[in-house]
Structure 1
Amino acid sequence: MIIQAIALNTIKEAIRDRILYLLLFFAAVCIICSRLLAIMTVGDRVKIIMDVGLASLSFFGALMAILLGTGLVYKEIDKKTIFTLLSKPIPRYQFLLGKYFGLVITLLVMLILMSLIFLLLVFLHTSQFEGRLLLPVFFIFWEMCLITAVALLFSCFSTPILSSLFTLSFYIIGHFSWGLETLIDKLPSGSGKIAARVFYTAIPDLENFNFKTEIVHGLAIPVPVLLNSLLYGFFYSGFVLALATLIFRKRDFI
């Protein structure tokens, strides 16, 4: 009940945040503009709309998770409400989980709204419902859950600006980790290479959640690959939330 109450309060706070609607507006504009891009580009227009639309969902969904997630704990500290909350018999892990699930639900609603615009645009071009697009949309949401957990982790010990920079770096590196591995292989043996290898291992490969190319071009995706991505996101998010709880427990707010 405590987690539910905190989650509901987090949802109410999030939907009052103007930046959420600003990002939703820009996402809608980008999705709609994909039609203009398709007209000006030589190639399959429907595939271009799908590709640009899914990329917009992924990018703006991540931005929402970063900008809202990094302020979850800091706002409570800034408004001094955290002192009132933690003075009550509320376990700190329940406080964090309530914040996390509240924001995840909010992000899910925003993603559904963006997806409806996207699917409607595709329908206008194909005259049929492209149900296969729901798969990459689901994994975009799964990625957003992981990014939210990381943003919450950084918000436990840093300011919103620094937390946003850290989480954004995490997002960018996570999508280009394959390039990082190539660079590590070229490094000379030594402590530097070992440290780089540890860093590479700690950063998740966010491309595990990217199935846009396969779906847009009609390529088959093995079920084990989908299950692996599902479990990968679940356990990594769980690990990050556990780490955030550990840090939050040790933090002194007095």
Structure 2
Amino acid sequence: MVFGMMIGLTAISYGTRPGVIARATTKEAIRQPLFLLLLTISALVLIGNSVVPFFTFEDEGKMLTECGLATLLIAGALLAVWTAGTSITSEIEGKTAMTLLSKPIDRRQFLFGKYIGILQAVIWMFLILTAIFALLTFIKVGYDQKEQSLDVTPYWQWIKISDVELPVPHPDRMNVVGAILPGIALTFMQVAVLGAISVTVATRLPMVMNLVICFAVFVVGNLTEIIVNSSVEGQANESVIFTARLISMVVPSLSAFNISSAVATGRIVPQDYLGLSLIYATAYIG
């Protein structure tokens, strides 16, 4: 799925007219100080979470996973929303966009190129932070085992290839690292949805209002499922139930991309759930 998305984005960036705008937007987003600032702070937070104990005994690994996913979500959302506000809004206010739209490129292609460019910048940030996150998770595996007085899984396993023994990462540790990848994919989908909303809002409203609206969507979107379930289970009147369901139809259900409960219970996110989440995110973005 990841490689397919990368191939698709590359084809768009280098094979279409919006791709020219996408490449320029990606370079602009990466060069701005916010990218390096968010990347540095997020990396330090990830490292700090792996070093500072949570005092949760055998749940240290789960807490590291939850905090790591939250860090990626906040960093990615801030980058997407801020870049949309500074790039699109400033170009519209400065009439730069009018120059582009006077050429053989329409409004839809302009916004599509901007969105793809923002998405590519988020991907670069996610790739770096995911590498750091995976390394810290790989190292942290033995911590819970020590707390439970179990045998600590070694870092390396020696395998023989053509009479030569070579060290490879231990499969048990790699399984734990692999378990966080679906969560990272779902986090990226949530950022992609928020980025699409931000790009749409940026064409009409200034950056401050963009930030406020995206923050409101983020909060309500993560509470949508709770609001609907509470209104139904609490036997509320029809007007309350109607309002709750109307909100769930208008605002994206971002809670679908949140796997905190699965992490807390140690469950594995199934592949079909990832596929359905991708379809939902793609449909909403489109």
TM-score range, shorter chain: 0.7 to 0.9
SS in 2 for 1:15: helix
Q: 1:71 aligned to 2:119?
A: no
How far the C-alpha of 1:180 sits from its partner, in A, is: 2.5
Work out whether residues 179 and 268 of structure 2, in 8 Å CA contact, stay in contact via their aligned partners in 1.
Answer: no
Give the distance between the partners of 2:98 and 2:207, measured in 1 at CA.
Answer: 19
Does the C-alpha gap of structure 1 residues 16 and 220 become closer, same or farther in structure 2, counting only changes over 3 Å?
closer
Select which of 100, 117, 121 maps to 1:85: 100
Larger Rg: 2
TM-score, normalised on structure 1? Answer: 0.84
Match status 1:204 vs 2:219 = no
Aligned-pair CA distance for 1:218? 3.3
Alpha-carbon deviations, 1:160-191, whole Å to 9, x = none?
A: 1001110111011111113322565565444x
Correspondence 1:226 to 2:241: no
Structure-2 separation of matches of 1:17 and 1:36 = 30
Q: Please give the residue correspondences for 1:119-130 in structure 2 after superposition, counting only pairs within 5 Å.
A: 119-126=134-141, 127=155, 128-129=173-174, 130=177
Gaps of 5+ in 2: 1-15, 142-154, 156-172
User: Secondary structure of 1:43's partner?
Assistant: helix
| Secondary structure in structure 2 of the residue aligned to 1:48 | helix
* Other-structure match for 2:218: 171
Separation (CA, whole Å) in 1 of partners of 2:37 and 2:22: 23
Q: Which amino acid is 1:233 matched to? A: A
Asked if residue 19 in structure 1 is aligned to residue 66 in structure 2, the reply is: no
Q: Provide the rounded CA distance (Å) in 1 between the counterparts of 2:37 and 2:181.
A: 24
Q: How many residues align?
A: 237
Q: Measure how far apart 1:73 and its partner are.
A: 1.6
- Pick aligned residue for 1:132 from 156, 179, 188: 179
Q: CA deviation at 1:41?
A: 4.0
In structure 2, what is the equivalent of residue 247 of structure 1? none
State the alpha-carbon separation in 2 of the partners of residues 17 and 98 from structure 1.
18
Partner of 1:110: 125
Amino acid across the alignment from 1:95: F
SS at match of 2:104: coil
Q: CA deviation at 1:43?
A: 3.2
Q: TM-score, normalised by structure 2?
A: 0.75
- Residue 229 of structure 2 corresponds to residue 214 of structure 1: no
Q: Is the 8 A contact 2:65 2:263 kept in 1?
A: no
CA contact 1:72–1:152 (8 Å) conserved in 2: no
> Which ranges in structure 1 are unaligned for 5 or more consecutive residues?
239-254
Distance in 1 (CA, whole Å) between partners of 2:101 and 2:220 is 35
In 2, the alpha carbon distance for the partners of 1:231 and 1:120 equals: 30
Q: Secondary structure at the match of 1:125?
A: helix
Highest RCO, 1 vs 2 (Cα 8 Å, sep ≥ 6): 1
Q: Which moved more, 1:204-213 or 1:166-175?
A: 204-213
Indicate conservation of the 8 Å contact 1:132/1:215, yes or no: no
The counterpart of 1:97, out of the listed 108, 112, 118, is: 112
The structural deviation recorded for 1:217 is: 4.3
- Indicate conservation of the 8 Å contact 2:88/2:203, yes or no: yes
Identity %: 29
Q: Which amino acid aligns with 1:164?
A: L
| 3-state SS, counterpart of residue 176 of structure 1 | helix
CA shift, 1:30, in A, is 1.5
Q: Quick check: which one's strand share is greater?
A: 2
Whether the 8 Å CA contact 2:54–2:63 is kept in 1: the answer is: no
What's the counterpart of residue 67 of structure 2? Answer: 52
2:216 partner amino acid: S
Paired with 2:270 and 2:133, the residues of 1 have a C-alpha distance of 25
